[in-house]
Amino acid sequence: MKKLAVTLFSAVLVPLLVVSCGGQKAPAAAAAAQADTPETAAFNYRDGLMKAVAWKVGKLRGMAQGEVPVDEAFAKKAAHDVATLAGMITEGFIPNSIVQGSAATPDIWKNFPDFTQKAADLQTAAQALADAADANGFEASKGLVDAVGKSCGGCHRPYRKRQE
């Protein structure tokens, strides 16, 4: 009797478990398989990089616009960080990497020298801010944050599908 119950249990429940686990596992497995490609890895890299850039520039903008008090040391470091991050952008745009979730446009790879120039524009603007802040303080240099912000749109307009 006990054995029958166990048998019934397995007969009824095991397929259910398999089905429900299978159902839950499928997306995770698909994501894992996707993450294994160099193209998806490149997308994840640049997406994280952009988010880091946005985080830092958001802080700088907040301080430049007087929304949050100026923290000189934090602002100087953030400006240097953005310049460094800007120099890391193009390596994330490997060929054929418009994977699911990407907002990159194919024009990036048709005009890669121009795309590279747009990344350099951000780097130059952030470096100018960092140098000025080092020399005269962020408070005196905060007008340069605008140029940093403008360089985002300068690249997003031609090379990113969703508008800011």
**Residues binding ligand HEC (CB under 6 A):** 43, 46-47, 50-51, 53-54, 57, 89, 102-104, 115, 118-119, 122, 148, 151-152, 155-156, 159-160, 162
Task: Provide, rounded to whole angstroms, the least separation between the CB of residue 21 and ligand HEC.
Answer: 32
Nearer to ligand HEC, 24 or 85 (CB): 85
CA separation for the pair 164, 162 (Å, rounded): 7
The C-alpha angle with vertex 78 and arms to 139 and 144, in degrees rounded to 5, equals 45
- Measured CA to CA in angstroms, residue 13 lies from 6, 21, 76, 98, 127 at distances of 10, 12, 61, 42, 63
Task: Provide, rounded to whole angstroms, the least separation between the CB of residue 118 and ligand HEC.
Answer: 4
Selection from 103, 126, 133, 144 nearest residue 54 by Cα? 126
Nearer to ligand HEC, 23 or 113 (CB): 113
Nearer to ligand HEC, 12 or 35 (CB): 35
Task: Provide, rounded to whole angstroms, the least separation between the CB of residue 26 and ligand HEC.
Answer: 24
Residue 137, classified by CB atoms within 10 Å of its CB into exposed (0-12), middle (13-18) or buried (19+), is middle
Task: Provide, rounded to whole angstroms, the least separation between the CB of residue 53 and ligand HEC.
Answer: 5
Nearer to ligand HEC, 26 or 127 (CB): 127
